[in-house]
């Protein structure tokens, strides 16, 4: 990767907020159906990118995608006891 023409190294952590459309799976990959990662432009994809959490296929809503494993674990860890809304 380059910044202002200078090569920089290291791993770049990315954070994307997506308004997940209906009909798309919240998954890393699927052989038969489109996933949220299929909606990311190839130039914006990074190694280890994954959705944090899950929305049903027909559900729309805000979804976080990242390659920051520490953040993803902190948000998803059962011991955090994040309660789901009961709409």
- Which string of DSSP letters, residue by residue, matches 20-56? EPTT-B-SS--SSS-BGGGGS-GGG--TT-EEES---
Is 7 part of a structural domain of the chain?
A: no
Is 56 catalytic? The answer is: yes
Catalytic residue among 4, 44, 56, 58: 56
Is 26 part of a structural domain of the chain?
A: yes
| pLDDT, tens digit, 9 for 90 and up, residues 34-84 | 999 999 999 999 999 999 988 999 999 999 999 999 999 888 887 776 666
Neighbours of 17 (CB within 10 A): 9
* Continuous segment of H or E residues that includes residue 17: strand 15-20
pLDDT at 66: 96
Is 45 part of a structural domain of the chain?
A: yes
Is 9 part of a structural domain of the chain?
A: no
Number of domains comprising the chain: 1
Q: Give yes or no for residue 86 having a pLDDT over 90.
A: no
Is 3 part of a structural domain of the chain?
A: no
Is 2 part of a structural domain of the chain?
A: no
Is 87 part of a structural domain of the chain?
A: no
Domain that residue 46 falls in: 14-80
CATH number for the domain harbouring residue 72: 3.30.70.580
């Amino acid at each position: 990767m380059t910044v202002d023409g200078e090569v920089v190294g290291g791993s770049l952590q990315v954070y994307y907020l997506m308004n997940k459309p209906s009909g798309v799976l919240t998954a890393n990959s699927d052989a038969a159906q489109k996933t949220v990662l299929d909606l990311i432009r190839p130039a914006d994809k990074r190694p280890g990118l994954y959705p944090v959490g899950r929305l049903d296929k027909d559900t729309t809503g805000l979804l976080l995608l990242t390659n920051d494993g520490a953040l993803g674990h902190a948000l998803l860890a059962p011991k955090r006891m994040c309660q789901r809304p009961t709409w």
